[in-house]
Amino acid sequence: MPGVCYFMDQKTDKGILYGVGVGPGDPELITLKAARLLHSVARVYAASSTRNSYSVSLDIVRPHLAPGVTPAVLSFPMTRDAAVLDRAWEENARTVLADLDAGRDVAFLTLGDPSTYSTFGYLLRTLRDLDPTVRAEVVPGVTSYSAAAALAGEPLAEADQTLAVVSGVCGGDTLRRAARAADSLVVLKAYKRFGDIKAALAEEGLLRDAVLVSACGQEGQNLVRDLSQVEEIPPYFSLVLAKKKRG
Ligand SMILES: C[S@@+](CC[C@H](N)C(=O)[O-])C[C@H]1O[C@@H](n2cnc3c(N)ncnc32)[C@H](O)[C@@H]1O
Protein backbone atom coordinates (compact mmCIF):
# COMPACT_ATOMS: atom_id res chain seq x y z
CA MET A 1 0.00 0.00 0.00
CA PRO A 2 1.43 3.38 -0.92
CA GLY A 3 2.37 5.64 1.98
CA VAL A 4 0.63 8.89 2.79
CA CYS A 5 2.99 11.50 1.48
CA TYR A 6 2.23 14.73 3.28
CA PHE A 7 4.70 16.95 1.47
CA MET A 8 4.96 15.40 -1.97
CA ASP A 9 3.28 17.67 -4.42
CA GLN A 10 5.47 17.39 -7.48
CA LYS A 11 6.93 14.59 -9.56
CA THR A 12 10.72 14.72 -9.97
CA ASP A 13 13.60 12.27 -10.27
CA LYS A 14 14.85 13.33 -6.87
CA GLY A 15 14.93 10.97 -3.91
CA ILE A 16 12.49 11.09 -1.00
CA LEU A 17 13.45 12.01 2.54
CA TYR A 18 11.66 9.84 5.11
CA GLY A 19 11.48 11.18 8.66
CA VAL A 20 11.31 7.87 10.50
CA GLY A 21 10.14 7.60 14.10
CA VAL A 22 11.93 4.71 15.81
CA GLY A 23 10.10 4.70 19.15
CA PRO A 24 11.67 5.53 22.52
CA GLY A 25 14.04 2.59 22.98
CA ASP A 26 12.66 -0.92 22.62
CA PRO A 27 13.53 -2.08 19.05
CA GLU A 28 10.22 -4.01 19.01
CA LEU A 29 8.35 -0.70 19.16
CA ILE A 30 9.35 0.19 15.62
CA THR A 31 6.48 0.17 13.13
CA LEU A 32 6.39 -2.35 10.29
CA LYS A 33 6.56 0.56 7.90
CA ALA A 34 9.72 1.96 9.51
CA ALA A 35 11.36 -1.49 9.44
CA ARG A 36 10.44 -1.94 5.76
CA LEU A 37 11.79 1.49 4.80
CA LEU A 38 15.06 0.89 6.63
CA HIS A 39 15.59 -2.01 4.23
CA SER A 40 14.71 -0.07 1.11
CA VAL A 41 16.42 3.32 1.43
CA ALA A 42 19.89 4.00 0.05
CA ARG A 43 21.10 5.75 3.19
CA VAL A 44 20.13 5.97 6.86
CA TYR A 45 20.95 9.21 8.69
CA ALA A 46 20.95 9.78 12.43
CA ALA A 47 21.80 12.83 14.54
CA SER A 48 24.41 12.99 17.28
CA SER A 49 26.12 15.74 19.24
CA THR A 50 29.58 16.91 18.12
CA ARG A 51 30.99 15.52 21.41
CA ASN A 52 30.74 11.96 20.12
CA SER A 53 29.12 10.01 17.30
CA TYR A 54 26.73 8.10 19.53
CA SER A 55 23.07 8.10 18.47
CA VAL A 56 20.37 6.39 20.55
CA SER A 57 18.04 6.14 17.56
CA LEU A 58 20.75 4.36 15.58
CA ASP A 59 21.23 1.89 18.41
CA ILE A 60 17.48 1.18 18.36
CA VAL A 61 17.33 0.43 14.62
CA ARG A 62 20.55 -1.59 14.39
CA PRO A 63 18.68 -4.94 14.48
CA HIS A 64 16.53 -3.70 11.58
CA LEU A 65 19.27 -2.46 9.23
CA ALA A 66 19.83 -4.27 5.96
CA PRO A 67 23.24 -5.96 5.67
CA GLY A 68 25.77 -3.64 4.06
CA VAL A 69 23.98 -0.42 5.04
CA THR A 70 26.42 1.88 6.82
CA PRO A 71 24.46 4.56 8.64
CA ALA A 72 25.70 8.15 8.43
CA VAL A 73 25.78 10.31 11.55
CA LEU A 74 25.08 14.03 11.22
CA SER A 75 26.58 15.90 14.15
CA PHE A 76 25.07 18.92 15.80
CA PRO A 77 26.93 21.13 18.30
CA MET A 78 25.57 21.36 21.85
CA THR A 79 25.30 25.15 21.87
CA ARG A 80 22.72 27.91 22.10
CA ASP A 81 24.70 30.04 19.65
CA ALA A 82 22.15 30.46 16.85
CA ALA A 83 24.76 31.25 14.20
CA VAL A 84 26.78 28.11 15.01
CA LEU A 85 23.62 26.00 15.00
CA ASP A 86 22.36 27.48 11.72
CA ARG A 87 25.71 26.71 10.10
CA ALA A 88 25.57 23.11 11.35
CA TRP A 89 21.99 22.66 10.13
CA GLU A 90 22.86 24.02 6.70
CA GLU A 91 25.96 21.85 6.39
CA ASN A 92 24.01 18.73 7.40
CA ALA A 93 21.08 19.62 5.14
CA ARG A 94 23.47 19.99 2.19
CA THR A 95 24.83 16.49 2.87
CA VAL A 96 21.29 15.05 2.77
CA LEU A 97 20.39 17.16 -0.27
CA ALA A 98 23.30 15.70 -2.26
CA ASP A 99 21.73 12.23 -1.83
CA LEU A 100 18.24 13.46 -2.74
CA ASP A 101 19.53 15.30 -5.82
CA ALA A 102 21.24 12.09 -6.94
CA GLY A 103 17.84 10.32 -6.79
CA ARG A 104 18.58 8.38 -3.60
CA ASP A 105 15.83 7.84 -1.02
CA VAL A 106 17.08 8.40 2.53
CA ALA A 107 15.75 7.93 6.07
CA PHE A 108 16.41 10.37 8.91
CA LEU A 109 15.89 8.64 12.25
CA THR A 110 14.17 10.36 15.14
CA LEU A 111 13.66 9.04 18.64
CA GLY A 112 9.99 8.47 19.41
CA ASP A 113 7.82 10.29 16.90
CA PRO A 114 9.15 12.75 14.27
CA SER A 115 6.28 15.21 14.84
CA THR A 116 6.86 15.49 18.61
CA TYR A 117 9.74 17.74 19.74
CA SER A 118 12.00 16.29 17.09
CA THR A 119 14.95 17.46 15.01
CA PHE A 120 13.25 16.29 11.81
CA GLY A 121 11.24 19.53 11.56
CA TYR A 122 14.45 21.62 11.64
CA LEU A 123 16.08 19.43 9.02
CA LEU A 124 13.09 19.66 6.68
CA ARG A 125 12.79 23.45 7.07
CA THR A 126 16.49 23.91 6.32
CA LEU A 127 16.26 21.62 3.31
CA ARG A 128 13.21 23.49 2.04
CA ASP A 129 15.12 26.78 2.35
CA LEU A 130 17.82 25.30 0.16
CA ASP A 131 15.42 23.62 -2.25
CA PRO A 132 11.64 24.16 -1.96
CA THR A 133 10.96 21.10 -4.17
CA VAL A 134 12.35 18.60 -1.62
CA ARG A 135 10.03 15.60 -1.25
CA ALA A 136 9.48 14.24 2.25
CA GLU A 137 7.29 11.79 4.12
CA VAL A 138 6.83 11.33 7.86
CA VAL A 139 6.64 7.83 9.33
CA PRO A 140 5.10 8.24 12.80
CA GLY A 141 6.61 6.50 15.79
CA VAL A 142 5.58 5.45 19.30
CA THR A 143 6.16 8.50 21.52
CA SER A 144 8.21 8.34 24.71
CA TYR A 145 5.17 9.21 26.79
CA SER A 146 2.87 6.54 25.34
CA ALA A 147 5.55 3.93 26.07
CA ALA A 148 6.03 5.41 29.57
CA ALA A 149 2.27 5.27 30.27
CA ALA A 150 2.27 1.63 29.18
CA LEU A 151 5.18 0.91 31.52
CA ALA A 152 3.43 2.67 34.40
CA GLY A 153 0.21 0.80 33.63
CA GLU A 154 -1.75 4.07 33.76
CA PRO A 155 -4.06 5.37 31.02
CA LEU A 156 -3.03 8.84 29.90
CA ALA A 157 -6.59 10.12 29.51
CA GLU A 158 -10.11 8.70 29.47
CA ALA A 159 -13.63 9.84 28.58
CA ASP A 160 -13.83 13.66 28.67
CA GLN A 161 -10.41 14.23 30.25
CA THR A 162 -7.95 16.63 28.67
CA LEU A 163 -4.34 15.64 28.13
CA ALA A 164 -1.57 18.27 27.93
CA VAL A 165 1.95 17.57 26.76
CA VAL A 166 4.37 20.27 27.92
CA SER A 167 8.09 20.92 27.86
CA GLY A 168 9.91 21.16 31.17
CA VAL A 169 12.92 22.85 29.62
CA CYS A 170 12.08 26.24 31.19
CA GLY A 171 10.96 24.76 34.52
CA GLY A 172 7.49 24.40 36.05
CA ASP A 173 5.67 27.46 34.69
CA THR A 174 4.29 25.80 31.57
CA LEU A 175 3.09 22.96 33.77
CA ARG A 176 1.44 25.45 36.18
CA ARG A 177 -0.45 27.04 33.27
CA ALA A 178 -1.40 23.73 31.67
CA ALA A 179 -2.62 22.28 34.98
CA ARG A 180 -5.44 24.84 34.96
CA ALA A 181 -6.88 23.39 31.76
CA ALA A 182 -5.85 19.74 31.73
CA ASP A 183 -6.67 16.66 33.83
CA SER A 184 -3.61 14.74 32.81
CA LEU A 185 -0.12 16.11 32.16
CA VAL A 186 2.98 14.85 30.42
CA VAL A 187 6.17 16.80 31.11
CA LEU A 188 8.89 16.05 28.58
CA LYS A 189 12.48 17.27 29.06
CA ALA A 190 12.05 16.86 32.83
CA TYR A 191 15.71 17.03 33.80
CA LYS A 192 17.69 20.32 34.17
CA ARG A 193 14.84 22.26 35.83
CA PHE A 194 13.50 19.27 37.75
CA GLY A 195 13.49 21.19 41.06
CA ASP A 196 10.99 23.75 39.75
CA ILE A 197 8.95 21.04 37.99
CA LYS A 198 8.67 19.27 41.34
CA ALA A 199 7.65 22.53 43.04
CA ALA A 200 4.92 23.09 40.41
CA LEU A 201 3.63 19.52 40.84
CA ALA A 202 3.50 20.04 44.63
CA GLU A 203 1.57 23.33 44.22
CA GLU A 204 -0.97 21.53 42.02
CA GLY A 205 -1.29 18.63 44.49
CA LEU A 206 0.12 16.21 41.93
CA LEU A 207 3.53 15.34 43.37
CA ARG A 208 2.78 12.13 45.27
CA ASP A 209 0.83 10.47 42.45
CA ALA A 210 3.14 11.58 39.65
CA VAL A 211 5.42 9.08 37.93
CA LEU A 212 8.95 9.77 36.69
CA VAL A 213 10.10 7.51 33.85
CA SER A 214 13.71 7.59 32.68
CA ALA A 215 15.30 5.75 29.74
CA CYS A 216 12.04 4.00 28.89
CA GLY A 217 12.82 0.86 26.89
CA GLN A 218 16.53 1.66 27.06
CA GLU A 219 19.32 0.28 29.21
CA GLY A 220 18.92 1.71 32.72
CA GLN A 221 15.15 2.10 32.43
CA ASN A 222 13.77 3.47 35.70
CA LEU A 223 10.31 4.25 37.03
CA VAL A 224 9.73 6.20 40.26
CA ARG A 225 6.38 6.77 41.94
CA ASP A 226 5.96 9.51 44.56
CA LEU A 227 8.29 12.22 43.31
CA SER A 228 8.67 13.76 46.76
CA GLN A 229 11.41 11.13 47.23
CA VAL A 230 13.43 12.23 44.17
CA GLU A 231 16.27 14.58 45.13
CA GLU A 232 18.65 14.24 42.17
CA ILE A 233 18.37 15.73 38.69
CA PRO A 234 17.13 12.91 36.44
CA PRO A 235 18.92 12.01 33.21
CA TYR A 236 18.06 13.72 29.88
CA PHE A 237 15.74 10.89 28.80
CA SER A 238 13.21 11.54 31.56
CA LEU A 239 9.57 12.53 31.61
CA VAL A 240 6.84 12.95 34.20
CA LEU A 241 3.25 11.69 34.00
CA ALA A 242 0.87 13.43 36.40
CA LYS A 243 -2.88 13.10 36.66
CA LYS A 244 -5.53 14.83 38.77
CA LYS A 245 -7.66 12.50 40.86
CA ARG A 246 -11.16 11.97 39.48
CA GLY A 247 -14.14 13.42 41.32
C1 LIG B 1 13.68 16.13 22.06
S2 LIG B 1 12.44 15.31 22.99
C3 LIG B 1 12.06 13.96 21.92
C4 LIG B 1 10.64 13.46 22.04
C5 LIG B 1 10.36 12.30 21.10
N6 LIG B 1 10.36 12.74 19.71
C7 LIG B 1 9.04 11.59 21.40
O8 LIG B 1 8.24 11.35 20.48
O9 LIG B 1 8.83 11.21 22.54
C10 LIG B 1 13.42 14.57 24.23
C11 LIG B 1 12.64 14.27 25.46
O12 LIG B 1 11.75 13.19 25.20
C13 LIG B 1 11.64 12.37 26.34
N14 LIG B 1 12.13 11.02 26.03
C15 LIG B 1 12.54 10.58 24.83
N16 LIG B 1 12.85 9.26 24.90
C17 LIG B 1 12.64 8.88 26.17
C18 LIG B 1 12.77 7.63 26.86
N19 LIG B 1 13.18 6.54 26.24
N20 LIG B 1 12.43 7.60 28.18
C21 LIG B 1 11.99 8.70 28.82
N22 LIG B 1 11.84 9.91 28.21
C23 LIG B 1 12.17 9.99 26.91
C24 LIG B 1 12.46 13.04 27.45
O25 LIG B 1 11.60 13.88 28.17
C26 LIG B 1 13.47 13.83 26.64
O27 LIG B 1 14.01 14.91 27.39
Domain boundaries, the chain: 16-139, 144-243
Is the pTM value of this prediction over 0.85? yes
pLDDT one-digit tens code per residue, 96-141: 999 999 999 999 999 999 999 999 999 999 999 999 999 999 999 9
pLDDT one-digit tens code per residue, 176-195: 999 999 999 999 999 999 99
Instruction: Give the confidence band of 77 by pLDDT, cuts at 50, 70, 90.
Output: confident
pLDDT one-digit tens code per residue, 147-169: 999 999 999 999 999 999 999 99
With a 6 Å cutoff on the Cβ, whether 239 touches ligand 1 is yes
Residue 247 CA to ligand 1 center (angstroms) comes to 31
Q: Which of 237, 240, 241 has most ligand 1 atoms within 8 Å of CB, for mutation?
A: 237
Tell me which fold the domain 16-139 belongs to.
Answer: Cobalt-precorrin-4 Transmethylase; domain 1 (3.40.1010)
pLDDT greater than 60 at residue 9: no
Nearest-angstrom CA–CA distance, 200 and 178 = 11
pLDDT greater than 90 at residue 48: no
Alpha helices in 117-193 (DSSP H): 120-130, 144-152, 173-181
Query: Residue 19: which residues within 8 A CB-CB, separation 6 or more?
Result: 107, 108, 110, 114, 118, 120, 123, 124, 136, 137, 138, 139
The CATH number of the domain covering residues in 144-243 = 3.30.950.10
Residue 127 CA to ligand 1 center (angstroms) comes to 24
Residue 213 CA to ligand 1 center (angstroms) comes to 10
Q: Is 41 helix (H, G, I), strand (E, B) or coil?
A: coil
Q: Which of 188, 197, 222 has most ligand 1 atoms within 8 Å of CB, for mutation?
A: 188
* pLDDT at residue 16, rounded to an integer: 98
pLDDT greater than 60 at residue 1: no
Residue 245 CB-density burial (10 A; 0-12 exposed, 13-18 middle, 19+ buried): exposed
* pLDDT at residue 53, rounded to an integer: 67
Neighbours of 21 (CB within 10 A): 27
* pLDDT at residue 136, rounded to an integer: 98
Nearest-angstrom CA–CA distance, 219 and 205 = 32
pLDDT greater than 60 at residue 4: no
**Which residue type does 144 have?**
S
Instruction: Give the confidence band of 247 by pLDDT, cuts at 50, 70, 90.
Output: low
Residue 185 CA to ligand 1 center (angstroms) comes to 15
pLDDT greater than 80 at residue 32: yes
Residue 102 CA to ligand 1 center (angstroms) comes to 33
pLDDT greater than 70 at residue 11: no
Residues in the chain: 247
Q: Which atom of ligand 1 is nearest to the CA of 191?
A: 27
With a 6 Å cutoff on the Cβ, whether 234 touches ligand 1 is no
Nearest-angstrom CA–CA distance, 77 and 86 = 10
- Judged by average pLDDT, the poorest of 52-56, 171-175, 199-203, 229-233 is 52-56
Instruction: Specify whether the CB–CB gap between 60 and 23 falls below 8 A.
Output: yes
Residue 237 CA to ligand 1 center (angstroms) comes to 6
